[in-house]
Amino acid sequence: MITHALLTDMYQFTMMQGLFTQNKHRTRCVFDRFYRTNPFQGAYTVVAGLEQVIEYVKGLRFSEDDIIYLRQTGVFTEEFLDYLTTFRFTGTIYAAPEGSVVFPGEVLLRVESAKDEAILLETALSMFLNHESLIATKARRIRSVIGKDGVAEFGMRRAQGVSAAVQGARAAFIGGFDSTSDVYSAALYGMRPVGTMAHSWVMSFPTEIDAFRAYADQYENNLVFLVDTYNTLHKGVPAAIQVFQEIRERRGGTMPSIYGIRLDSGDLAYLSIEARKMLDEAGFKEALIFATNDLDEYKIADLKQQGAEITAWGVGTKLITADETPALGGVYKLAGQWEGDTFMPAMKFSDNIEKVTNPGKKKVLRLINTRNNKLIGDLICLDHETVDTTQDYVFKNPLHPWKQTVLKANTFRVQELLVPIFVDGELVYDIPTLAQVKVYGEEQIQLLWPEFLRLRRAPEVKVNISEELHQLKSKLLLEKVGNPS
Amino acid sequence: MITHALLTDMYQFTMMQGLFTQNKHRTRCVFDRFYRTNPFQGAYTVVAGLEQVIEYVKGLRFSEDDIIYLRQTGVFTEEFLDYLTTFRFTGTIYAAPEGSVVFPGEVLLRVESAKDEAILLETALSMFLNHESLIATKARRIRSVIGKDGVAEFGMRRAQGVSAAVQGARAAFIGGFDSTSDVYSAALYGMRPVGTMAHSWVMSFPTEIDAFRAYADQYENNLVFLVDTYNTLHKGVPAAIQVFQEIRERRGGTMPSIYGIRLDSGDLAYLSIEARKMLDEAGFKEALIFATNDLDEYKIADLKQQGAEITAWGVGTKLITADETPALGGVYKLAGQWEGDTFMPAMKFSDNIEKVTNPGKKKVLRLINTRNNKLIGDLICLDHETVDTTQDYVFKNPLHPWKQTVLKANTFRVQELLVPIFVDGELVYDIPTLAQVKVYGEEQIQLLWPEFLRLRRAPEVKVNISEELHQLKSKLLLEKVGNPS
């Protein structure tokens, strides 16, 4: 059986072997994960995928079949393959917890390890975090326009494969969704699986009323009738009302706690408003109106703005495929390495100034206003730096020093974004339950002022690099210019 | 251990149980899979994902843990759960083979089975085929602008999860790619894994020349130097040329069969043209110029048009996430069911005329010009219909009968698109190797005239429904109007 130890790009193996042959493979180094641009033209990204990274790193061993396969490629020496048989991750990983709200340029995960270990992790680690963070972010955008209505993830059939469906449903939950239609994911992660009927149910009976009655006989407490199979307002809603009336009579005048209709086509604003009137007139004021059909945050915002009487939402395709920005461009770059006992910060140079990376072993400090609990901004700094909250602090952009805010002593607190996950190969992180992650995610989004939740053209959250990091970066840039390789 | 038997939407289970309670679950029925709109504004879709469907259907059993989980939801009766423990797929599936080039409205897969079996399959089956067909189609579009250059799939780190990466690489191969960087997928499916070095390799050495030399010492036969870490034309390419010269001297004047450089940033047209000149002047006319960096079919077409001297391509993010159309909207609809011994065709009605489905048990016949082997068009017809190629045949659109072509006797042949996969629960399909699928895919795309490969605003391939199917559809529509449910 081949294992996920092969879940990487071929060049990671050719580089690992190259370093091995040069005896440079155990050079200790630091790699950073970060991204450059917010997805969906928004102001933030919601972190997800760390649990999958942890599972992957913990289980990272080469099976016999992995080795047999690598041997077959003809690219690797027996010495290197031998070495791989005992390969384990023995390094240290710090990362932003799932649910964290983060911004461009910030270190979101930091690996400090032998270089071959750091290299091997890159591809899979990037994939897990890029994918799941993207879906959690899309989900958060949807939640931000939905308010307190219920919202379920319905996307499996259009997902880009099993993991996209299963981990996507989990990421959506982290981003604020309530439930999923995906039974497998619900079972795996302890979410609530939801769903009632499809058009094929209605079409399996001579009339809609027959279909609804048959359903009601069995699922009196989970009654959502799909009313658009033939004609929503002329047939579907009246049929639903008739069956609701039958149920009410049978129950002596009461209704189950949850019941309603689902609209899956047509103009959802118009249909929901008309259906609401019909339901209200028949005395079913508590009936839910559930809407589905290619929804996303924009369509939902429009429907809300047009007074749609929708009380619960199902979002599928456009959430689960991260429509509009189907990839988060998170990258993983060398930030430094030890040469003997000396740590040598490293950076990627580029003619594009925004592609020049931040050198050194770094961390992210969040500065939070203690009065209103809102984020003032994030500081990317070197690992040994601290900010003293009992002193005034000048929070500034070293490239544009006139852009500065003075934080008065004892008016703000500092929170470290990155927490230890693995230390010297040992998992030290107490993995939170998904429910805990969800709560943390809600707290995190509360750190932002509402303007940062705007769907388009949101202002940028302030992220500065520290003066010391700025000095280091400038020094390395100047050295490079003076010392062409 | 929960299994992929749970890989479905919750409503499939509630409907299955509903039918079970009504004793309608074993009603034999026919479901069709089809899609309505070509992805990427193109003229076709390339089918992929059938192998995953076969695996899924073959393995479909409920484990003890599946049953325990379903019981926990509180929605299912013990009778139904008991029934699930012996559940198997016992029906018949016909499908278009992987690599088939197909068009909107065509039946691409047909399930004929007890209704509960057909219902359970819908979600996972749709997901596999939607996802993989989408990637195969994107890959084919890229191949169609690349001509005979080499092209590798490089997308894992940006894929929407493990399956998106692993099955995506396979689908890209079906769509005409040569290789992948994804070692796991290469191992699983027997593709060629490719890759050489990343920027972190170059940054692990004092200078680029050191980095290239170290690499060349080990991989003389797999030499592609990444030349854009510092400055492509001033540093990277000269360093590569110097190391190539050293190799040539060492080898007594010859070069390895494959060697070259990779460009991963900047203006790829300009840089490749300049690099080509430099390589040629140094006598390295055979050196490959490999290009990567957020490529897709449009950027590649532009680069080709601008005379870029690129000989091999790596395509990642935009392929593996199906950028532009991240979901294929394939659907699965009830086409009919038996009532006693009578087959009753069914259709989904809709105010949107294009959403009205085709009723009945159907198939697709491809009409191919025997002289040039090009596709004349596809005919969607009822299962018992035939087209006699020894007679003149009028290929027409029943809605617009003036749109017709007379095919002269003995100038065309007829090919059935759908082939038997499962018959009465038995797998009868001789699953082709991936290499065979690839060859079939190449043959299929050759059926199309070049204008259908246009990236944008391609003409539509003719797909007509038969006169008999048209009559049936009209009859059912009129009955519905006369007999409101």
B484: pLDDT strictly greater than 60:
no
**A430-433 contact pairs (CB < 8 A, 24+):** A431/A51, A431/A54, A432/A97, A432/A98, A433/A190
**How many angstroms away from the CA of A263 is the closest CA of chain B?**
13
Which residue from A319, A261, A266 is spatially nearest to A143, judged by alpha carbons? A319
Residues A170 and A302 in one domain: yes
Smallest CA–CA distance from A20 into chain B, residue: B218
Interface test with B, best of A1, A2, A11 (most B CBs within 10 A): A11
**How many angstroms away from the CA of A392 is the closest CA of chain B?**
40
Cβ of A194 and B75 within 8 Å? no
Mean pLDDT of B338-367: 88
> Of B272, B295, B320, which residue constitutes the final position of a domain?
B320
A485: pLDDT strictly greater than 50:
no
| Residue positions counted in chain A | 485
Note the pLDDT of residue B479.
86
Distance between CA A304 and CA A314 in Å, rounded? 15
Cβ of B187 and A6 within 8 Å? yes
A480: pLDDT strictly greater than 80:
no
What's the per-residue H, E or C state across A470-482? HHHHHHHHHHHHH
Note the pLDDT of residue B482.
66
Note the pLDDT of residue A415.
97
Residues A82 and A124 in one domain: yes
What's the per-residue H, E or C state across B334-361? EEEEEECCEEEECCCCCCCHHHCCCCCC
Mean pLDDT of A162-178: 98
User: With 0-12 CB in 10 A as exposed, 13-18 as middle and 19+ as buried, what is B417?
Assistant: buried
**% chain A with pLDDT above 70:** 98
Smallest CA–CA distance from A182 into chain B, residue: B9
Note the pLDDT of residue A13.
98
Mean pLDDT of A121-146: 98
The CA–CA distances, whole Å, from B375 to B118, B145, B257, B445 equal 32, 21, 40, 10
Mean pLDDT of B203-223: 93
Residues B130 and B178 in one domain: no
Smallest CA–CA distance from A352 into chain B, residue: B266
| Residues on chain B touching A168 (C-beta within 8 angstroms) | 160-161
pLDDT digits (tens, 9 = 90+) for B3-12: 999 999 999 9
Cβ of B126 and A27 within 8 Å? no
| Residues on chain A touching B4 (C-beta within 8 angstroms) | 162, 184
Smallest CA–CA distance from B328 into chain A, residue: A158
Residues B164 and B289 in one domain: yes
CA triple B249-B252-B253, angle to 5 deg: 75
Interface test with B, best of A20, A126, A154, A162 (most B CBs within 10 A): A162
Distance between CA B452 and CA B75 in Å, rounded? 50
| Residues on chain B touching A132 (C-beta within 8 angstroms) | 161
Note the pLDDT of residue A352.
67
| Residues on chain A touching B200 (C-beta within 8 angstroms) | 15, 31, 119, 333-334
Average pLDDT, chain A: 95
Interface test with B, best of A9, A19, A134, A290 (most B CBs within 10 A): A9
Contacts of residue B151, defined as CB under 8 A and 6 or more positions apart, other chains included, come to B142, B143, B176, B177, B178, B312, B313, B314, B315
Interface test with B, best of A7, A10, A237, A323 (most B CBs within 10 A): A10
DSSP one-letter code for A463: E
Mean pLDDT of A407-426: 98
**CA-based radius of gyration for chain A:** 27
Residues B210 and B150 in one domain: yes
Note the pLDDT of residue A483.
56
B429: pLDDT strictly greater than 80:
yes
Structure tokens at A234: 């002329």
Looking at A174-183, A332-341, B342-351, B467-476, which range is the least confident one?
B342-351
Q: Count CA within 13 A, CB hemisphere, residue A110.
A: 26
A351: pLDDT strictly greater than 70:
no
The shortest CB-CB distance from B327 to any of A158, A203, A328 is to: A158
Cβ of A2 and B184 within 8 Å? yes
Q: Return the CATH number at A113.
A: 3.20.140.10
B182: pLDDT strictly greater than 60:
yes
The shortest CB-CB distance from B7 to any of A66, A184, A199 is to: A184
Note the pLDDT of residue B483.
56
Q: Return the CATH number at B143.
A: 3.20.20.70
Distance between CA A446 and CA A44 in Å, rounded? 13
> Of B271, B302, B320, which residue constitutes the final position of a domain?
B320
Residues B290 and B233 in one domain: yes
**% chain B with pLDDT above 90:** 92
| Residues on chain A touching B346 (C-beta within 8 angstroms) | 203
Smallest CA–CA distance from B352 into chain A, residue: A266
Cβ of B13 and A183 within 8 Å? yes
Residues A107 and A144 in one domain: no
- A180 close to A152: Cβ distance less than 8 angstroms: yes
Residues B331 and B412 in one domain: yes
- The residues pairing with A151 across neighbouring beta strands, listed in sequence order, are A313
- A314 close to A292: Cβ distance less than 8 angstroms: yes
B351: pLDDT strictly greater than 80:
no
* Inter-chain Cβ pairs, chain A and chain B, closer than 8 A: 315
**How many angstroms away from the CA of A127 is the closest CA of chain B?**
4
Q: Is A46 helix (H, G, I), strand (E, B) or coil?
A: strand
How confident is residue A482, by pLDDT bands cut at 50, 70 and 90? low
> Of A296, A320, A344, which residue constitutes the final position of a domain?
A320
pLDDT digits (tens, 9 = 90+) for A299-318: 999 999 999 999 999 999 99
Instruction: Please report the ipTM that was assigned to this predicted complex.
Output: 0.96
Smallest CA–CA distance from B212 into chain A, residue: A18
| Residues on chain B touching A19 (C-beta within 8 angstroms) | 204
Q: Is A453 helix (H, G, I), strand (E, B) or coil?
A: helix
Looking at A19-23, A315-319, B400-404, which range is the least confident one?
B400-404
| Residues on chain A touching B348 (C-beta within 8 angstroms) | 199, 203, 229
Query: Into how many domains does chain B fold?
Result: 2
Residues A26 and A100 in one domain: yes
**How many angstroms away from the CA of B245 is the closest CA of chain A?**
18
Residues A235 and A188 in one domain: yes
Write the single-letter amino acid at B18: G
**How many angstroms away from the CA of B141 is the closest CA of chain A?**
18
Cβ of B265 and A163 within 8 Å? no
pLDDT digits (tens, 9 = 90+) for B218-255: 999 889 999 998 899 999 999 999 999 999 999 999 99
How confident is residue B485, by pLDDT bands cut at 50, 70 and 90? very low
Cβ of B328 and A199 within 8 Å? no
Cβ of A18 and B214 within 8 Å? yes
**How many angstroms away from the CA of B453 is the closest CA of chain A?**
24
Cβ of B127 and A159 within 8 Å? yes
Cβ of B484 and A230 within 8 Å? yes
Residues B126 and B149 in one domain: no
* Helix (H) and strand (E) counts in chain B: 15, 21
**How many angstroms away from the CA of B73 is the closest CA of chain A?**
8
**How many angstroms away from the CA of B375 is the closest CA of chain A?**
29
Smallest CA–CA distance from B334 into chain A, residue: A200
The CA–CA distances, whole Å, from A264 to A116, A223, A229 equal 51, 16, 9
Residues A108 and A150 in one domain: no
B214: pLDDT strictly greater than 70:
yes
DSSP one-letter code for A226: E
Give the range of the structural domain holding residue B476, as residue numbers without chain letter.
4-136+326-482
Cβ of B9 and A183 within 8 Å? yes
| Residues on chain A touching B10 (C-beta within 8 angstroms) | 181-183, 186, 193-195
